[in-house]
């Protein structure tokens, strides 16, 4: 292991062969993102034109929706291909993809994490059910996100008479990761970070192909100071270390040891509770979706509107009734939301992302609450395709395919609707101009027919109607009080659901709240 000054690191990067493959570990909002190393890549390219024509791989979304993270690579000529799990944090890279200036691929975050592990282990790719029936399936888009992406990265196979997907391996030349500490032998510890993510997997993948591993840390400590169980990447896998003494824990602030579980348990009596939402859509959806909670269940919450269910649980003081998990490897604790999603204060356990996705893929999740940008007559859900642009599924596919029960949370329509909840009734003052319950979703991130085949329980919750997936199709099972079934629901859907005898949603969910729901489908997914 060699400790490099920033100028030395930049020189190493300029010497990378053109068309090298760089795998980066990190997650949006600055979670374990090696930002100073990524900035060095950008400076090297802008100063010298090298490295160039890179293939960039990242399992989770990375960046700050502006200039950090994967945005550092969004210069024409710097990258040739991007294989990402989620792109929303990187608008500059999304723009290059939309203009076909790069080959853009979107793969499920868990599948991509596991593929990196398989590459590192020298195995012939990842064989899995994850992605069947979705836009990742080669019978659909095969994970290709634009016209420039033409290579087949995923293939359909049969094993023991069952359909599986094989995610094909590729060589990794450079791995970039981050920790809190490195010792003098190169061992990396993320002990004061909120997650481990896939650091070990990306390092292993690079070493398998004879590549190099670059780690950014806050501090170098003497050999022997790190406890063995605090080491996330052993020193024999690490080539270079960049010391960044001022690195923040996330893009939103300095180190808070509660987020790494290194201080005493939170005093629930003094912990700040999330305020009740004033938006009637979010309020009603969260309260109604919470009806689907199962006592003692292992639960996952997605980003966006579905995280409102976790806020309901916190306000009720019911956190002890459920086992919380999130894809970044976190178990338990007080879940954070917004740009800090993926982090918990005082978690009960922190696993690698690969281990967490093993749990999800193997069916170890009782239920999940996820967003819903679009749904269709087959029960398919889209959260990855917006306005002709593919943003990537993140862990959505891995999670939704593995959970026994899936509860989708979303607004009934978008753009221009105005609603009020008062006196136990929902008043719709104007309907949105964008329909979200469509004949066919723009891209399949969740497959209704596959869910029926797997025997999953699937519920779709909106503020004015609730649906469930049946073998015969999507059934409307509840409507909001004050809502006319034909005028306010069926006339604003592009397909006819099964309607038997829908009951009324609880009037208790419709107290005083009013808002202009000028909702962007991507924002609530």
**Residues labelled as active-site residues:** 327
Phi, psi of 296 (to 5 degrees): 80, 5
3-state secondary structure 499-510: EEEEEECCHHHC
User: Which of 457, 417, 456 lies closest to 436 in space, CA to CA?
Assistant: 417
Whole-angstrom distance, CA of residue 167 vs CA of residue 142: 10
β-bridge pairing 323-326 and 298-301? parallel
CA end-to-end span of the chain, whole Å?
43
Q: How far apart are CA 84 and CA 105, in angstroms?
A: 6
Q: Which residues pair with 323 in a beta bridge?
A: 298
d(CA 121, CA 141) in angstroms, rounded, equals 28
User: Rounded CA gap, 345 and 259, in Å?
Assistant: 4
CB 81 within 8 A of CB 56: yes
Nearest-5° Cα angle at 196, 192 to 197: 145
Contact 44, 13 (CB under 8 A): yes
Q: Judge contact between 81 and 58, C-beta under 8 A.
A: no
**∠ CA 519-33-52, rounded to 5°:** 100
CB 409 within 8 A of CB 369: yes
SS3 258: helix
408, two tokens = 């989708």
CA distance 150 to 171: 18
Coil vs helix vs strand at 72: helix
- For residue 8 the two structure tokens come to 């030395």
Residue with structure tokens 């690195």?
247
Instruction: Please list, in sequence order, all residues whose beta carbon lies within 8 angstroms of the beta carbon of residue 8, skipping any fewer than 6 positions away.
Output: none
102-125 burial: b if 16+ Cβ within 10 Å, else e:
bbbbbbbbbbbbbbbbbbbeeeeb
Whole-angstrom distance, CA of residue 176 vs CA of residue 196: 13
* CB neighbour class for 389 (10 Å; exposed up to 12, middle 13-18, buried from 19): middle
- Rounding to the nearest 10 degrees, give the CA dihedral for residues 359, 364, 369, 373: 60
């Amino acid at each position: 292991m060699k400790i490099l000054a920033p100028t030395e690191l930049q020189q190493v990067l300029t010497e990378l062969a053109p068309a090298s493959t760089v795998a980066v570990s990190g997650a949006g909002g600055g979670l374990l993102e090696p930002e100073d190393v990524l900035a060095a890549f950008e400076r090297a390219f802008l100063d010298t034109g090298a490295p160039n024509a890179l293939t960039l791989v990242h399992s989770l979304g990375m960046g700050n929706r502006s200039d950090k993270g994967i945005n550092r690579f969004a210069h024409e000529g710097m990258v040739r291909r991007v294989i990402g799990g989620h792109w929303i944090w990187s608008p500059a890279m999304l723009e290059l993809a939309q203009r076909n200036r790069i080959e853009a691929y979107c793969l499920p975050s868990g599948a991509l994490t596991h593929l990196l592990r398989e590459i590192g282990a020298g195995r012939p790719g990842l064989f899995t059910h994850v992605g069947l029936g979705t836009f990742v399936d080669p019978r659909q888009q095969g994970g290709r996100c634009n016209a420039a992406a033409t290579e087949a990265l995923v293939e359909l196979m049969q094993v023991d008479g069952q359909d599986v997907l094989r995610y094909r391996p590729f060589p990794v030349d450079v791995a970039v990761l981050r920790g809190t500490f490195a010792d003098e032998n190169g061992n990396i510890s993320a002990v004061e970070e909120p997650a481990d993510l896939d650091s070990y997997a990306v390092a292993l993948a690079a070493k398998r192909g004879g590549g190099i591993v670059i780690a950014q840390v806050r501090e170098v400590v003497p050999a022997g100071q790190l406890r063995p169980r605090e080491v996330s990447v052993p020193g024999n896998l690490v080539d270079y270390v960049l010391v960044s003494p001022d690195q923040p824990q996330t893009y939103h602030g300095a180190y808070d040891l509660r987020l790494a579980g290194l201080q005493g348990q939170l005093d629930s009596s003094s912990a700040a509770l999330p305020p009740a939402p004033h938006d009637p859509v979010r309020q009603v959806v969260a309260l109604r979706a919470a009806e689907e909670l199962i006592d003692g269940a292992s639960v996952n919450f997605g980003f966006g509107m579905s995280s409102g269910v976790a806020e309901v649980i916190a306000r009720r003081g019911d956190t002890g009734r459920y086992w919380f998990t999130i894809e970044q490897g976190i178990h338990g604790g007080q879940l954070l939301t917004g740009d800090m999603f993926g982090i918990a204060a005082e978690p009960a356990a922190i696993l690698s992302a690969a281990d967490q996705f093993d749990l999800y893929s193997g069916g170890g999740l009782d239920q999940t609450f996820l967003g819903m940008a679009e749904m269709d007559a087959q029960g398919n859900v889209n959260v990855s395709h917006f306005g002709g642009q593919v943003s990537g599924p993140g862990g959505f596919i891995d999670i939704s395919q593995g959970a026994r029960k899936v509860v989708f949370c979303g607004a009934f329509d978008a753009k221009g609707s105005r609603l009020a909840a008062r006196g136990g009734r929902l008043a719709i003052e104007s309907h949105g101009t964008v329909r979200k319950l469509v004949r066919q979703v723009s891209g399949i991130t969740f497959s209704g027919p596959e869910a029926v085949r797997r025997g999953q329980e699937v519920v779709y919750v909106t503020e004015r109607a609730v649906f469930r997936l049946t073998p015969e199709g999507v059934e409307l099972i509840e409507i909001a009080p004050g809502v006319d079934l034909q005028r306010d629901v069926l006339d604003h859907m592009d397909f006819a659901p099964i309607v038997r005898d829908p009951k009324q949603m609880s009037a208790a969910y419709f107290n005083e709240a009013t808002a202009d729901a000028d909702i962007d489908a991507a924002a609530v997914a």
